[in-house]
Structure 1
């Protein structure tokens, strides 16, 4: 199996503008993915993604902000500190308008570039793959609820 990237795609019954806010703003990310998040949604903005009661805290850096079509960030830095010279995983979320809704295309790359041994690459890829299989549908459900409420 190749462990270079993870790809997930889902159609959401919400406009790209609504979905963009859902994937790029900490107050929305907390509703479908992390337990807490704090960052500025601007290119170069740094912050953190928190899972559980701070059991896991991941530094993150926003890479691309192109409303309402593209949001990308880096995370999973080796020593837990955001460092533009360090290898990290890149999550790219592309939003494509489709029929009154939006197709969300999420891609996570960089597993092979982390310098991990093959077993660690496989384990991390499996863990992230399982996670996105849970969280991408939650993203869609949350964005759909927001759109329906407006």
Structure 2
């Protein structure tokens, strides 16, 4: 079955300002998410590019920027393509300050709206869930923050 959305949440032992930088600055994104580089135009409508040698170059468009609180973007499903209706998901990060650090939540939604077969939608959701799990495990590592 194709999920409506996938979610992952971790606690990072760092203040929200530091976590915001980890989520939005290219040099930090490379360490936990886009291992082969990232480009970030951090404003609504701004372009994002995430690179992985094994997967290709994925494009996104920024939707929401609330420094230290919320960041969202529409991410293309296929490498080298712009995000489009039926060809992208919505990725939303929420940061919540807590004693000793920051809780980070990612929700990726829109899998059921993709112009793919049910099997392809389900596979894409599984791959994305695995990617967020691995990335968030790194992000939450005390040595990383």
Structure 1: gaps (5+ residues): none
1:58 maps to: 58
Structure 2 residue matching 1:132: 3-state secondary structure = helix
Query: Number of residues paired by the alignment?
Result: 144
2:109 maps to: 109
8 Å Cα contact 2:60-2:73 kept in structure 1: yes
8 Å Cα contact 2:75-2:90 kept in structure 1: yes
Q: Structure 2 matches for 1:1-150, cutoff 5 A?
A: 1-34=1-34, 35-52=36-53, 55-77=55-77, 80-83=80-83, 87-141=87-141, 144-145=142-143
1:47 Cα offset (Å): 3.1
- Matches of 1:83 and 1:120, distance apart in 2: 17
1:84 Cα offset (Å): 5.5
- Matches of 2:122 and 2:84, distance apart in 1: 24
8 Å Cα contact 1:78-1:86 kept in structure 2: no
1:102 Cα offset (Å): 0.4
Greater shift after overlay, 67-76 or 83-92?
83-92
- Matches of 2:136 and 2:41, distance apart in 1: 22
* Divergent runs of 4+, >6 A: none
Would the alpha carbon gap of residues 23 and 97 (structure 1) be closer, same or farther in structure 2, given more than 3 Å must change? same
- Matches of 2:48 and 2:68, distance apart in 1: 21
Structure 2: gaps (5+ residues): none
8 Å Cα contact 1:63-1:74 kept in structure 2: yes
- Matches of 2:79 and 2:138, distance apart in 1: 29
**Taking structure 2 as the reference length, what is the TM-score of the superposition?**
0.89
Report the structure, 1 or 2, having the larger helix content: 1
1:145 Cα offset (Å): 4.0
